[in-house]
Amino acid sequence: MSLSLSPSTPKLFRLLCACTASQSEHCIDSKMAKTRLACLLTLLSTHCYFSVSAVVLKTNNESPWTDEFDKIELSCLIESISTTNPRIEWKKITNEGPSYVYFDRKISGDLENRAMIREPATLLITNATRLDTAKYRCEVTAADDQKSFDEIVINLVVRVKPVVPKCSVPKSVPFGKSAELSCVEDEGFPKSQYQWFKNREEIPDDPKTSLKFFNSTYTLNAEAGTLNFIAVRKEDAGEYFCRAKNDAGYSECPPQKMEVYDIDVVGIVLGVLVVAVVLLCITAGICCAYKRGYFSSQKQTGNSYKVPAKGDGVDYVRTEDEGDFRHKSSFVI
């Protein structure tokens, strides 16, 4: 077993700790009293301890991050070990469970052809993608050590720059009416936050904090990307665009123009009156035409005939043949 020191061990005791218990008397001047020796040994027992061989791991960064397509190092440092050729493995941990990315001294799985091992156990990803965001576990097994196994878990985040967001801006809005402008983007990681701009100037979250927007009545949702006007004013007309941003960067949609127009109440009322008058005239004309008989007609077909007036004592009967009549005489007594 090897002798180790605690960090708080004083220099004097560090010298004494270099000796084993059986050699302690030789490390101290022979003129020292036995009581002095007993005191020193008591202090030594407080500051010295013996350690057994064990594999111990550490990392420089438990939560590294990188931008997409950049390289990133997942450090796995072996702080102490006695085994000459330990077994080293890396596993990627997702919701579906763990999977090997380094096994039997070979890169495998999701990181194949995109990673390498830096001795002794550090994993270097040379071209990180958004799918690499996960937890990774470094495992070292040392068969010759008394404590033969240790592991550390590293949480990797690969940041993804937002793509150009989809923006919706109404082309024209009536004065005093409500309006909604929307902006959305689904590629960025972490999730994008949104900013709105009018005529190249950022719109503040609270209109009361800016003189230019002080009289505007709107609500801005930076997480959802919406800009809602409660009642638009003439001053709200202009060119609007949205910016989606996160830690990896930002993207903007092209500017779109929104106009604000007045509602012509007088024109609407006059239009309704004109339509009502036209409908009234049409109705009156139809009624007059009916009264004068323009819509009545008499139709006669080839099968129609006029029944002759009955003579005294003679009844006319129509047979099945068209136009064939015979009469039936009756005698009057």
- The per-residue pLDDT for range 227-259, each reduced to its tens digit, is 999 999 999 999 999 999 999 999 999 999 999
Q: What is the number of H-type helices and E-type strands within the chain? A: 4, 25
Q: Are strands 65-67 and 149-159 parallel, antiparallel or unpaired?
A: parallel
Domains and CATH numbers, the chain: 56-159 (2.60.40.10), 166-261 (2.60.40.10)
- 25 pLDDT band (50/70/90 cuts)? very low
What does 272-308 look like in DSSP terms, one character per residue? HHHHHHHHHHHHHHHHHHHHTTTT------TT---PP
Residue 274: predicted pLDDT: 85
**Kind and range of the H or E run holding 195:** strand 193-198
Instruction: Using the predicted structure, report yes or no on whether residue 46 has a pLDDT greater than 50.
Output: no
| Residue at 90: amino acid letter | W
CA distance 148 to 86: 9
| 3-state secondary structure (DSSP) of residue 5 | strand
Q: Quick check: bond before 120 cis, omega within 30? A: yes
Mean pLDDT value across the chain: 80
